[in-house]
Chain A
């Protein structure tokens, strides 16, 4: 059984650019949640995807968008990058909606915006 895989592991972008982060969910999981974790802080919920539809969104602007594919993998896209977007982006998958107990987290993508 494979876990959650995120790519890339590290990324450096320039302010104003766009970025796409990828997440492969654990086998058998159909729900993916994305979190932003600033240095020294707890993760903050960005949004969740269930069966290819957005299912809940945190307090993030529309330039944060996502997709989920038929194989339940997911992308997080961020447009018009700002310096404050520098953070660890975590993906978590689970086997059903609304079950934080069953979340499996990836190791994250460290995004640095310069």
Chain B
């Protein structure tokens, strides 16, 4: 079955710098990938998604990159702000569109 892992449990970034959070998945047939943000005491919040027929997608201050060759997914946050402090999860939809989640990367913003 599918497994999802993140490269770093914690990422510390200077305010104003760009943040890059990485994720790896195991199933080359995976088709749909999502990034979520979870703030303390709250449920996950959708950030951005991408399908396997794309290799890049941009949102407001966020970009998701998909490298199917090495089964790698990344989330880039431009000009990181204090409000970006949270745990970030990548999730992969299986064949039934149920989500398989990684363990999360905690993003810490240094002033």
A binding-site residues for B, Cβ under 8 Å? 4, 33, 40-45, 48, 56, 58, 90, 92, 97-101, 103, 105-108
- Indicate if the CB atoms of B43 and A41 lie closer than 8 Å: no
Check if B53 is an interface residue, CB within 8 A of chain A.
no
**Bound CA–CA A100/B100 (angstroms):** 11
- For window 81-108 of B, CB contacts with A under 8 Å fall at 89, 91, 93, 96-104
Total interface residues on B, CB under 8 Å, equals 22
Per DSSP, are chain A's interface residues mostly helix, strand or loop, or mixed? loop
Can you name 13 A-B pairs with beta carbons within 8 Å?
A33-B98, A40-B104, A42-B89, A44-B101, A45-B98, A45-B100, A98-B96, A98-B97, A99-B97, A100-B49, A100-B97, A100-B99, A106-B43
Per DSSP, are chain B's interface residues mostly helix, strand or loop, or mixed? strand
What residues of A have a CB within 8 angstroms of the CB of B104 in the complex? 40-42
- Indicate if the CB atoms of B103 and A42 lie closer than 8 Å: yes
**Bound CA–CA A6/B5 (angstroms):** 28
B binding-site residues for A, Cβ under 8 Å? 4, 32, 34, 41-46, 49, 89, 91, 93, 96-104
**Bound CA–CA A12/B51 (angstroms):** 41
Interchain nearest-CB distance for B56 vs A (Å): 18
